[in-house]
Chain A
């Protein structure tokens, strides 16, 4: 970790099914680190990660975790790498072994759900920031994940797209972890709050602690 200090030391977090938890805290508190640990992009120096009923250690373990977890990155440009929207949204389902037709069907369905009809053939890099955010959400929702991890989802969104995103998140029945320092956004989308400070967790309001 930058600075050498222990991040997330002694953190014990359990995430329950259908729980919606917002993780807040100042920059450098380890919010993104927490999400990356959950899907095995980082390995903890000490401690364990348990997901979907068992301990996850190897890359192979985490591959299964990632198949059931939709991780939406902070910057949509990091997530969307294909030339067209449809290809990006179909990327996940195809990786999960879906056939071409199944992947196409689930991608178009996801785009419809997010109000992105007729976006499938648009060129990714010409979309606006808000549209890119919605498409990157579509690109993980098309994998039909059980858990959704969102890293600063409200970053760079105008009011219209922010409201739309809140509406979408409230309409889907999934376990959600949102990392954000936008308190207004968190309050509109989550029931539980966790505050990270100096690498330590402080349940801000309710029972907290997940995963």
Chain B
């Protein structure tokens, strides 16, 4: 279902939903938005197991909010629970942030995770996303693995000559040398890749062999989601 939507539709709708959700503060609206993101998540056919790590990481991050913020306020609405004073308004804000964060992550997972990375880059450039950022992303994906291989190569070379890390100057110097060497190699490679692209007449603009097309499903989805966002915003501010 989600998979058959045009990638551009998914990216734009994810962005708009995320912006709308970040403005919601009533719990009724947040709850319905959470429900909506869960529905999208189910339609995306991604298993919970695949994304549980990401959700866990986000919620651990929010745990620190809960451990600090409610205790730092001195508002009128504070509740004394014996060993600490909890500020009600701050606590509720933490809850809102928690729900918003989870909604946005679920939206990203269900709408954007389902686009393969190259299509994602091409869709971004076709909606006029800054091309420098798109190129940066594409090259990172392609060359990260190669930079990693270079790191492993250097690491093996160092280990092969009997290097064992200790807490001493020699270790720091060696590690700094390794890091510098990886960076210099990456820079050299960037220059060679650029030269190779120039040889194939690259003039700063990427042309894609993929063609995107909006289908009836997209239009249906766009109208439905615009309606939803409007209802949310309307309910929130009027």
Q: Chain B contact residues (Cβ within 8 angstroms of A): what range? A: 20 to 34
B-facing residues in A39-66 (Cβ within 8 Å): 39, 41, 63, 66
Residue B51 at the chain A interface, CB threshold 8 Å: no
CB distance from A128 to the nearest CB of B (A): 14
Cβ-Cβ contact count across A and B, 8 Å cutoff: 80
Residue B142 at the chain A interface, CB threshold 8 Å: yes
B-facing residues in A59-108 (Cβ within 8 Å): 63, 66-67, 69-71, 73, 75, 77-79, 81-84, 86-87, 90-92, 94-96, 100, 103-104
Please count how many residues in chain A sit with their CB below 8 Å of the partner chain's CB atoms.
34
Contacts of B143 in A (CB 8 A): 81
Residue B197 at the chain A interface, CB threshold 8 Å: yes
A-facing residues in B188-216 (Cβ within 8 Å): 189, 192-193, 195-203, 207-209, 211
Q: Is the CB of B203 within 8 A of A95?
A: yes
Q: Is the CB of A71 within 8 A of B196?
A: yes
Q: Is the CB of B196 within 8 A of A73?
A: yes
Q: Is the CB of B193 within 8 A of A104?
A: no
Residue A7 at the chain B interface, CB threshold 8 Å: no
Chain A's closest residue to B205 (CB) is A95
Partner of A140, one of B117, B193, B200, B207: B200
CB distance from B136 to the nearest CB of A (A): 13
Residue B139 at the chain A interface, CB threshold 8 Å: yes
Q: Is the CB of A78 within 8 A of B142?
A: no
Q: Is the CB of B201 within 8 A of A96?
A: yes
Q: Is the CB of B200 within 8 A of A95?
A: yes
Q: Is the CB of A125 within 8 A of B198?
A: no
Chain B's closest residue to A139 (CB) is B200
CB distance from B111 to the nearest CB of A (A): 21
Known: A78-B193, A83-B141. A66 touches B199 (CB 8 A): yes
Known: A92-B201, A94-B209. A83 touches B118 (CB 8 A): yes
Q: Is the CB of A81 within 8 A of B139?
A: yes
Q: Is the CB of B209 within 8 A of A90?
A: yes
Partner of A78, one of B196, B202, B209, B211: B196
Residue B159 at the chain A interface, CB threshold 8 Å: no
Contacts of B202 in A (CB 8 A): 91, 95
In the complex the two chains form, what is the Cα distance from A104 to B159 in whole Å? Answer: 47
CB distance from B131 to the nearest CB of A (A): 15
Q: Is the CB of B145 within 8 A of A125?
A: yes
Partner of A36, one of B145, B193, B195: B195
Contacts of B201 in A (CB 8 A): 63, 66-67, 92, 95-96, 143
In the complex the two chains form, what is the Cα distance from A83 to B120 in whole Å? Answer: 12
A-facing residues in B57-78 (Cβ within 8 Å): none
Partner of A82, one of B142, B192, B195, B203: B142
CB distance from A198 to the nearest CB of B (A): 25
Q: Is the CB of B198 within 8 A of A100?
A: no
In the complex the two chains form, what is the Cα distance from A106 to B201 in whole Å? Answer: 16
Partner of A92, one of B145, B189, B195, B200: B200
Q: Is the CB of A83 within 8 A of B117?
A: yes
Partner of B142, one of A75, A81, A95: A81
Partner of A66, one of B138, B192, B200, B208: B200
Contacts of A67 in B (CB 8 A): 201
CB distance from A177 to the nearest CB of B (A): 13
CB distance from B235 to the nearest CB of A (A): 43
Q: Which residues on B are within 8 Å of A, measured CB to CB?
A: 117-118, 138-139, 141-143, 145-146, 189, 192-193, 195-203, 207-209, 211
Pull 24 A–B residue pairs with CB atoms less than 8 Å apart, ordered by A: A63-B203, A66-B200, A71-B199, A73-B192, A73-B196, A77-B146, A79-B196, A81-B142, A81-B193, A81-B196, A81-B197, A82-B142, A83-B117, A83-B141, A83-B142, A90-B209, A91-B197, A92-B200, A94-B208, A95-B201, A96-B201, A100-B211, A103-B207, A125-B146
Q: A81-B139, A95-B200, A95-B203 are in contact. List 6 more A-B contacts (CB 8 A).
A: A66-B198, A71-B199, A79-B193, A81-B193, A86-B209, A103-B207
